[in-house]
């Protein structure tokens, strides 16, 4: 049997928050949440330590939280850290950090939190934000943690003037920016989100010629996902999405740093997993690049309306369409088998086949969403092409296949569902889409708003018998923009 799942967790990273795991009071004594796999467990309760090369010191975090007593505040901090690792990691990672990679993702966050106070603060900020939106009935104010993390980030960037210092701290900068940007997008603080993404882009491109470490490459790939979601519905420059070279998209599996205590079997299993899974992840990352290219020809990013404008846009769109079709021809050889549900226990370990199947279906659905997105941006007034009809049919097929599994739909299916719903005419299919989107509310804080927005888009299109701009409707409908992450 290939890749026994014995050494990687059986829980889902994105799941409704378990109220039973919460203490009766945030300030009460509680037992910390434990990882499913002791071999992968990494403690984050370490004494203050200083890195001679980096100059980062882990210090106690004294934000104003639910308790005024230092002991209770310290317990709140540890509670938030453990809650993040157990329940509240960003949902956007759910479909890219799967199987044995989830354990090393948690180890990475735990290790960085122990070494960098700004990462630790950013982790607690995001955890508190997610806690406030859970159904636990518990609340810790996230803003003080966010403000301190942001301040430490700015101070570190301002004082680390030399390229060498910044290069040594890059991993911590990127992790902090990633978490703060997640919170910015979910709270509709779009100027801050776009500013953070721009800062990350400049950091990466001024980091020198040394190759990126495994952790840095991983963090860059996560930030690219955020950039794609931000530019598609919330504006922004999409800086990460115009750079398709080897510095931002690794062409081969990136070796991850497995906890030495996990043993040789765990390391081998993760390497084998990457060999199978990584081509699909690269396909997905390349799909995200098209999100940026398409957004750059929408009326929010360039002039539209004149004959000259539309002629230029159609020429660009034709090039994008050609490249999209080329990308489909380069899809991983395993993808068709995975999407069709042909991966079984005969070929892979019991828990591995469903994980790869689910992820590859999500990646392909996002590919088809790009075809619909392109048509709505470049050919708004034209009837649906065969590409669009085919994309609608395939997103529908893939969504229903995933619904038939035991797990809830992945949060990264939100964008394909929105694109499909904006083009769907059948009332029954429309209701299914809206129900599916609202069903993601436990893992995507803006799922309800997305469903409400889609209903308004459908209503306006039905009334005018022509397509409407989704971002424009969101501005009219909610007096704000939002990002689907």
Assign 235 a pLDDT band (cuts: 50, 70, 90): low
DSSP string, 373-440: HHHHHHSTTSPP-HHHHHHHHHHHHHHHHHHTSSSPPPGGGHHHHHHHHHH---HHHHHHHHHHHHTT
Least confident of 37-41, 178-182, 460-464: 37-41
Residue, of 45 and 471, whose pLDDT is higher: 471
- Compute the C-alpha angle 406/86/284, nearest 5°: 60
Least confident of 35-39, 290-294, 436-440: 35-39
Residue 13: its pLDDT value, please?
39
Among 24-33, 64-73, 142-151, 201-210, the range of highest mean pLDDT: 142-151
Residue 199: its pLDDT value, please?
93
Quick one: which of 162, 250, 257, 149 has its CA closest to 207?
162
Long-range contacts of the stretch 426-432 (C-beta < 8 A, 24+): 429/396, 430/458
Residue, of 31 and 85, whose pLDDT is higher: 85
Confidence check: pLDDT of 394 > 60:
yes
Residue 405: its pLDDT value, please?
83
Assign 165 a pLDDT band (cuts: 50, 70, 90): low
Residue, of 58 and 453, whose pLDDT is higher: 453
3-state secondary structure 147-173: HHHHHHHHHHHHHCCCHHHHHHHHHHH
Buried b (16+ CB within 10 A) or exposed e, 147-182: ebbbebbeebbeebeeeeebbbbbbbbbbbbbbbbb
Helix (H, G, I), strand (E, B) or coil at 448: helix
Quick one: which of 257, 250, 199 has its CA closest to 226?
199
Over residues 99-122, the pLDDT tens digits come to 778 888 999 999 999 999 999 999
Over residues 349-376, the pLDDT tens digits come to 777 888 899 999 999 999 999 999 999 9
Residue, of 233 and 83, whose pLDDT is higher: 83
Residue, of 343 and 26, whose pLDDT is higher: 343
Q: Which residues contact 55 (CB under 8 A, 6 or more apart)?
A: 165
- CA 108/CA 363 separation, integer angstroms: 24
Which whole number is the average pLDDT over 193-222? 89
Confidence check: pLDDT of 15 > 90:
no
Q: Which residues contact 187 (CB under 8 A, 6 or more apart)?
A: 129
Residues in the chain: 485
Residues above pLDDT 90, as percent of the chain: 46
Q: Which residue has the tokens 């004494």?
A: 47
- CA 274/CA 256 separation, integer angstroms: 9
Which whole number is the average pLDDT over 447-468? 95
Q: Which two tokens stand for residue 47?
A: 């004494």
Which whole number is the average pLDDT over 406-423? 92
Q: Which two tokens stand for residue 243?
A: 């750079």
Note whether 143 and 123 are within 8 A (CB): no
Confidence check: pLDDT of 479 > 60:
no
Confidence check: pLDDT of 19 > 80:
no
How many other C-beta atoms can be found within 10 angstroms of the C-beta atom of residue 460? 17
Burial (CB count <10 Å: 0-12, 13-18, 19+), residue 210: exposed
Confidence check: pLDDT of 484 > 50:
yes
Residue 29: its pLDDT value, please?
29
Which whole number is the average pLDDT over 382-411? 94
Confidence check: pLDDT of 406 > 60:
yes
Residue, of 53 and 275, whose pLDDT is higher: 275
Confidence check: pLDDT of 175 > 70:
yes
Quick one: which of 8, 82, 80 has its CA closest to 40?
8
- Compute the C-alpha angle 426/455/238, nearest 5°: 105
């Amino acid at each position: 049997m290939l890749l026994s799942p014995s050494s990687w967790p059986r829980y889902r990273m994105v799941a409704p928050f378990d109220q039973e795991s919460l203490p009766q009071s945030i300030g009460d004594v509680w037992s910390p949440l434990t990882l499913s796999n002791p071999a992968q467990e990494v403690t984050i309760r370490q004494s203050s330590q200083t890195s001679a090369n980096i100059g980062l010191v882990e210090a106690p975090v004294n934000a104003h939280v639910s308790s005024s007593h230092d002991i209770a505040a310290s317990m709140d901090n540890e509670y938030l850290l453990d809650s993040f690792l157990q329940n509240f990691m960003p949902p956007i990672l759910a479909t890219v950090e799967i199987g044995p990679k989830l354990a090393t993702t948690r180890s990475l966050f735990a290790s960085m939190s122990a070494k960098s106070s700004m990462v630790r603060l950013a982790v607690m900020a995001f955890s508190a934000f997610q806690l406030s939106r859970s159904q636990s009935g518990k609340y810790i104010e996230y803003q003080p943690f966010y403000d301190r993390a942001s301040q430490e980030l700015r101070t570190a960037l301002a004082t680390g003037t030399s390229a060498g210092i910044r290069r040594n701290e890059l991993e911590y900068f990127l992790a902090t920016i990633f978490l703060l940007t997640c919170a910015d997008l979910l709270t509709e603080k779009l100027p801050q989100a776009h500013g953070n993404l721009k800062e990350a882009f400049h950091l990466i491109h001024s980091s020198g010629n040394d190759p990126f470490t495994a952790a840095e490459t991983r963090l860059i790939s996560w930030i690219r996902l955020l950039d794609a979601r931000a530019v598609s519905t919330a504006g922004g420059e999409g800086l990460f999405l115009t750079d398709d070279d080897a510095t931002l998209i690794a062409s081969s599996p990136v070796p991850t740093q497995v906890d030495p205590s996990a043993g040789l079997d765990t390391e081998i299993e993760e390497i084998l997993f990457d060999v199978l899974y990584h081509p699909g992840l690269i396909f997905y990352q390349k799909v995200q690049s098209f999100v940026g290219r398409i957004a750059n020809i929408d009326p929010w990013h360039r002039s539209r309306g004149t004959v000259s404008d539309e002629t230029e846009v159609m020429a660009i769109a034709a090039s994008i369409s050609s490249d999209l079709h080329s990308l489909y021809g380069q899809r991983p050889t395993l993808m068709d088998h995975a999407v069709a549900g042909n991966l079984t226990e005969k070929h892979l370990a019991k828990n591995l086949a469903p994980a790869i199947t689910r992820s590859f279906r999500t990646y392909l659905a996002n590919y088809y969403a790009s075809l619909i997105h392109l048509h709505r941006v470049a050919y708004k007034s034209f009837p649906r092409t065969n590409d669009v009809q085919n994309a609608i049919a395939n997103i529908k097929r893939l969504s229903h296949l995933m619904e038939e599994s035991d797990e809830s739909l992945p949060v990264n299916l939100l964008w394909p569902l929105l694109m499909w719903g904006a083009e769907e005419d059948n009332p029954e299919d429309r209701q299914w889409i809206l129900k599916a989107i609202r069903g993601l509310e436990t893992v995507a804080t803006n799922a309800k708003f997305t469903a409400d927005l889609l209903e308004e888009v459908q209503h306006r299109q039905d009334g005018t018998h022509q397509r409407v701009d989704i971002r424009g409707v969101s501005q009219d409908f909610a007096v704000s923009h939002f990002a689907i992450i």
